[in-house]
Amino acid sequence: MKAAVQYAPFDVRVEEVPEPSPGPGEVKVKIAYCGICGTDPDIYDGSFGLMKAPWWPKGPFTVGHEASGVIVELGPDLVRDDLHVGQRVAMNFRTYCGKCYYCKSAREHMCEHVTNYEAGFAEYAVYGEAAVYPLPDDVSLEHGAFLEPVTIAAHCVDQGNLAPGKTVAICGGGTIGSLVLQIAIRAGAARVLVSDPMPEKRELAKRLGADWVVDPLKEDLVAVARGYTEGRGFDTVFECSGRLEVAAQCVKLADKCGTVVWAGVYPEEAEIPFNPFYLFANELTVRSTTLAPYMFPRGVKLLSKLDLDPLLSEIVPLEDIAKALAGRKTSTAVKILVKP
């Protein structure tokens, strides 16, 4: 079968590899679509900090984790009885051990013995049965490939201390920012501002329900934001751009006792200067998001409720994956799906 294999930074090749077979407790899926995540370009250029984690596979390795597809084979010794050949599914790319300290302490995403199934840029892939989620009849396979980013956005909103009537600012109008926007509104956000330098993404934010959009390259974001909030700032601020300077700026966008959620991925070696007294005096909460523990069942239910079509910018063939990854950081696209 054909699969994208990364040999080194900037070296991803689509080549013939052995077709996988499911082992005990595993399911084989014919991949329909796999989304290009915001972390995939960082993996492509070798800058993604988690590539140093002990569970990260040594090169060459397969890539791609926002996948949907159809079950073609069930491995032996499955515990579940709700999976069958021909079923349309979307997948988590991680299976947790359920036995380590973090799994038993309600922090499965910090699992010490995680199994990583990052192989969605391929014709076929296998997954642990716990990581496979049947899709409802009213959810397409294209939309199914949004499941993993939807779980991230929903987890962000959970972390944001949202309640009906609160105000929200979102920095970054890409996939996660657009999903956070929709979920925050459904969680009761009464006023939402979205900041993004790309006009296409600002227009998308307005279409999806943002009350205000800001071009941070042409406007003083903090001044504009405080102007919209009677000088107070926002109850919750989400940083979804992955830019260090924006992560620091988000603190100044928050109202007193506000919550800032960093949902971006930043360079491992980078540091952000903080004024601890400012945090103390304003009683701010600053949180970060890495994965989405226990969120996939909720994510499946959200798929049919969110407006996902405007986020889907392009579908590219697997053969063009290297080109798509190379151009992703400067692209105006929101979500690109890869079709094997």
| pLDDT band, very low/low/confident/very high, at 268 (cuts 50, 70, 90) | confident
| Residue 313 covered by a domain | yes
**Mean pLDDT throughout 117-121?**
91
Residues 165 and 124 in one domain: no
Number of domains in the chain: 2
pLDDT at residue number 331: 84
Residues 142 and 166 in one domain: no
pLDDT at residue number 196: 97
Q: How many angstroms separate the CA atoms of 166 and 170, rounded? A: 13
Cis check for the bond before 60: say yes or no (omega within 30 of 0).
yes
Which H or E run includes 120?
none
Residues 133 and 170 in one domain: no
| pLDDT band, very low/low/confident/very high, at 328 (cuts 50, 70, 90) | confident
**Mean pLDDT throughout 126-142?**
97
Q: How many angstroms separate the CA atoms of 283 and 278, rounded? A: 8
Rounded percentage of the chain residues whose pLDDT exceeds 70: 100
| Residue 296 covered by a domain | no
Identify whether the C-beta of residue 37 lies closer than 8 Å to the C-beta of residue 138.
Answer: no
C-alpha 328: how far from chain center: 15
Query: Is 259 a residue whose pLDDT tops 90?
Result: yes
| Residue 322 covered by a domain | yes
* Burial degree of 2 (CB within 10 A; 0-12, 13-18, 19+): middle
DSSP classification of residue 136: P
Helix or strand or coil: residue 103?
helix
Residues 136 and 69 in one domain: yes
- Nearest CA to 91 out of 48, 122, 125 is that of 125
Residues 132 and 154 in one domain: no
| Residue 301 covered by a domain | no
Residues 154 and 104 in one domain: no
Structure tokens at 45: 């250029």
Residues 271 and 318 in one domain: no
pLDDT at residue number 104: 96
**Mean pLDDT throughout 203-225?**
96
CATH of the domain at 266: 3.40.50.720
Residues 280 and 160 in one domain: yes
CATH of the domain at 107: 3.90.180.10
What DSSP assignment string belongs to 173-236?
-SHHHHHHHHHHHHTT-SEEEEE-S-HHHHHHHHHTT-SEEE-TTTS-HHHHHHHHTTTS-EEE
Helix or strand or coil: residue 125?
strand
Query: Is 52 a residue whose pLDDT tops 90?
Result: no
For the beta sheet containing 234-239, the strands, ordered from the edge strand earlier in sequence to the opposite edge, are 212-214, 191-195, 167-171, 234-239, 254-262, 285-288
| Residue 100 covered by a domain | yes
| Residue 138 covered by a domain | yes
**Mean pLDDT throughout 147-170?**
97
> How distant, in Å, are the alpha carbons of 152, 197, 311, 333, 334 from that of 314?
21, 20, 9, 7, 9
Instruction: Please work out, in degrees rounded to the nearest 5, the angle formed at the alpha carbon of residue 80 by the alpha carbons of 117 and 84.
Output: 80
Residues 102 and 39 in one domain: yes
**Mean pLDDT throughout 36-58?**
86
Q: How many angstroms separate the CA atoms of 16 and 123, rounded? A: 10
**Residue 91 lies in domain:** 2-146+308-339
| Residue 298 covered by a domain | no
What DSSP assignment string belongs to 4-73?
EEEEETTEEEEEE-PPP---TTEEEEEEEEEE--TTHHHHHHT--GGGGSTTSPPSSEE---EEEEEEEE
| pLDDT band, very low/low/confident/very high, at 272 (cuts 50, 70, 90) | confident
Q: How many angstroms separate the CA atoms of 204 and 37, rounded? A: 19
Query: Is 294 a residue whose pLDDT tops 80?
Result: yes
Instruction: Please work out, in degrees rounded to the nearest 5, the angle formed at the alpha carbon of residue 88 by the alpha carbons of 85 and 89.
Output: 105
Residues 88 and 190 in one domain: no
| Residue 211 covered by a domain | yes
Query: Is 55 a residue whose pLDDT tops 80?
Result: no
pTM of the model: 0.95
| Range scoring the smallest mean pLDDT among 17-21, 133-137, 254-258, 263-267 | 263-267
Q: How many angstroms separate the CA atoms of 146 and 148, rounded? A: 6
Residues 75 and 155 in one domain: no
Residues 136 and 157 in one domain: no
pLDDT at residue number 56: 82
